[in-house]
Amino acid sequence: MKITSLTTYSVPPRWQFLKIETDEGITGWGEPVVEGRAATVAAAIDELSDYIIGKDPRNIEDLWTVMYRAGFYRGGPITMSAIAGIDQALWDIKGKALGMPVHELLGGKVRDSIRVYSWIGGDRPAETAAAAVSAAEQGFSAVKMNCTEEMQYVDTWDKVQRCLDNVQAVREAVGPNVGIGVDFHGRVHKPMAKVLIKELEPYKLMFIEEPVLSEHTSSLLDVLRNTPTPIALGERLYSRWDFKDIIASGAVDIIQPDPSHSGGITETRKIAHMAEAYDVALALHCPLGPLALATCLQLDASCYNAFIQEQSLGIHYNTSNDLLDYIHDPTVFHYESGMVRIPDGPGLGIDVNEEYVIERSAQSHRWRNPVWRHADGSLAEW
């Protein structure tokens, strides 16, 4: 079997799909995108295609190694996301060729389903309590919300209080047994992160996500180690080499690699197993489309330390298309009692509606991150 072509499709709301074709008629799909830089990732895939067209798609480890190491410059969001989508599609091809789901090729399932959480509140947290109640009524046992809006290095107490009021409203609305994740989103710098982490302790959070940007974690090690609230991060780390020092630091309780950014199934599985050796939990990052979620679920099936899965159904970004629109059988993602079942079909386990993908790719998208500014006119982290 030989790879004959790679085709990318940029589709609304802000996703990008990849189809890899072979000379035996077996196709594989992946989801390579950096939100806001989809075209750049597509260009990287085109460059990587020089290495892999004509190669046997079943030699996944060797192809991954060539894509990562043979370019001299390595790592970073663009290259690793391009590799990720190709890697996902290669596993999809291999599973389809053998008539098995990817998790069977990884050693089989350690679970049949996994807990999922629902996003509430949007970029600027508001009316989060009502959204949390709605999520709980739909059967979700966990929710995640943004912590703050713009926040300066050292800011005023009213912004802290607004965050506390939002979290308290959610906790009171859903009761003590619904998990609440609070995402600082890298918007908060060290001085205010110390304040917020301490003040949020009474609300018994499921986790605090990205309390500071990953490059600043070392400056908060004592705070992160000593808070009783689990600390999660990793969506902006792209390889086992990026993760190794943070995992070994003892300051992080949950890692959140994104298999559409962190080198696909091949690399993310290695990251997950490295974390397991340090008794660190896995909660894969996935605010993306159906191929990204299918990839995550194949990994969740085979990684013992996975405990919950992000998913984008109804997320505030999905204004024109939603998670289930691009697949023939939406029931493959079977939600029940706050959990979703692991797909058991061959490859990634989903059947892409290629005609609809092509139709929507004609519209494409040009999604960009919002640009926020503080009152003084300086840029605010989004």
Instruction: Indicate the domain borders of the chain.
Output: 3-99, 105-348
Q: 5 φ, ψ to 5°?
A: -160, 155
d(CA 240, CA 249): 14
d(CA 16, CA 42): 8
Q: Could you confirm whether 189 is annotated as catalytic? A: no
Q: Which two tokens stand for residue 266?
A: 């091949």
From 103, 185, 189, 261, the catalytic residue: 185
Q: Could you confirm whether 285 is annotated as catalytic? A: yes
Domain topology for 105-348: TIM Barrel (3.20.20)
pLDDT computed for residue 128 by the predictor? 86
Polymer length in residues for the chain: 382
Sequence-distant (≥ 6) Cβ neighbours of residue 326 within 8 angstroms:
11, 17, 289, 290, 352, 353, 356, 357, 360
pLDDT in tens, 333-347: 999 999 999 999 999
Give the H or E element holding residue 224: helix 221-226
- Is residue 370 reached through a cis peptide bond, with omega within 30 degrees of 0 on the bond before it? no
pLDDT computed for residue 129 by the predictor? 87
Strands, E, within 251-380: which ranges? 254-255, 281-282, 309-310, 335-336, 339-341, 372-373, 379-380
- The helix-helix angle for 264-276 and 60-69 (nearest 10°) equals 90
Bridge partners (DSSP) listed for residue 18: 8, 30
- pLDDT-flagged residues of the chain (< 50): none
Label residue 377 left, alpha or beta by phi (over 0 means left) and psi (-120 to 50 means alpha). Answer: left
For residue 35, the Cα-to-chain-centroid distance in whole angstroms is: 11
Alpha carbons within 13 A on the beta-carbon side of 338: 16
Local structure of residue 327 (DSSP, 8 states): B
From 285, 328, 365, 374, the catalytic residue: 285
pLDDT computed for residue 123 by the predictor? 64
Q: What is the dihedral of CA 284, 342, 206, 160, to 10 degrees?
A: 60
Label residue 216 left, alpha or beta by phi (over 0 means left) and psi (-120 to 50 means alpha). Answer: alpha
Domain topology for 3-99: Enolase-like; domain 1 (3.30.390)
Buried b (16+ CB within 10 A) or exposed e, 301-324: bbbebbebbbbbbebbbbeebbbe
